Structures are given as structure tokens and as C-alpha cells.
Amino acid sequence: MTLDQLYQQRILEHNQHPQHFGPLPSATHRGRGIDALCGDDIEVALVVEAGKVVEAKFSGEACAVTKASASMLMTWLIGRPVTEVAMAYGAFQQLLANPQAPANELLGELNDLQPVGAFPARRGNAFLPWQATLEALGPELSQST
């Protein structure tokens, strides 16, 4: 199986069976990501306690890349300190900017989205859940810097 085939398979799996998809009424933090160009509109809902994400879900309508990115990101977020999120986003941006970059240990499964970087028009789809997450965590992030 080639990297491109694996990429396609991982995105399809997360698109068809997204992890942590659905409402989270008990959320303490919410952020929204909208891409008017392609019609993606997602909400990220988080429960943050003592500076750590203890629950994360997303909802809304989105393309396969956005949904896969959100699914992987929500799984990654659970149990993480809020202080790691901005650093991980920077690592994710670098990963997509350089298709030859080695996998980043911090990102775990999110490394599987690296081939999206070869398609500049799709990078925004992969970044949208991150942007909604950063918006949701805005107050927490400004306190941690």
C-alpha cells in the first residue's frame, strides 16, 4: 500500500466513522470553523478542567478532509494540557508545509494527514478544526502564555 493509498483510506475511515462526533452539552469551551468557499461549518466543543482537555467533540457539516482532521484532532486532544495545543498546531502546519518532513511524535495519528500538504487547496480543510479549537481555547491560551 502506498502512502497515498493509506492517506485515502485513513480519510475515508474517519469520514465514514468519525470519532467524537456529536453534541457536547456540558462543554465549557466552544469554537466554530467556517469555510464559506467549500461550505464546511463545524463546531468544536470541549470540556476543560484544571488546564486539561477532558472531553472533546465536533459537530456540523464538512468535507472528508475536514471531518477526518476533526476526528483525529478530537481524539488527540483528550487528556492533553491546553498549553500543548498551540505548539502542536505549529507542528501540524510545518508537517503539511513539507511533504518530506519526518513524522512528528507529538502529533500521533495526525501525521497521517501529511499528504494533504501536497494539495494547497485542501490544507485549509485540514486546518479548520484546529482553528475552531484555538478559538474555543482562546481565553485559556492567553492565560498560559
Query: For each of the chain's 145 residues, which pLDDT tens digit applies?
Result: 454 554 678 888 988 999 999 999 999 999 999 998 889 999 999 999 999 999 999 999 999 999 999 999 999 999 999 999 999 999 999 999 997 889 999 999 999 999 888 888 889 999 999 999 999 999 777 665 4
Domain of residue 96 covers: 3-144
Q: What is the pTM of this model?
A: 0.91
Q: How many domains does the chain contain in total?
A: 1
Q: Give the integer Cα–Cα distance in Å for 135 and 144.
A: 14
Cα-based torsion angle of the residue sequence 92, 96, 101, 106 in order, rounded to the nearest 10 degrees: 20
The CA-atom distances, in angstroms, between 62 and each of 36, 66, 119 are: 11, 6, 17
* pLDDT (0 to 100) of residue 1: 43
CB-CB neighbours of 75 under 10 Å: 17
The CATH number of residue 103's host domain is 3.90.1010.10
* pLDDT (0 to 100) of residue 4: 59
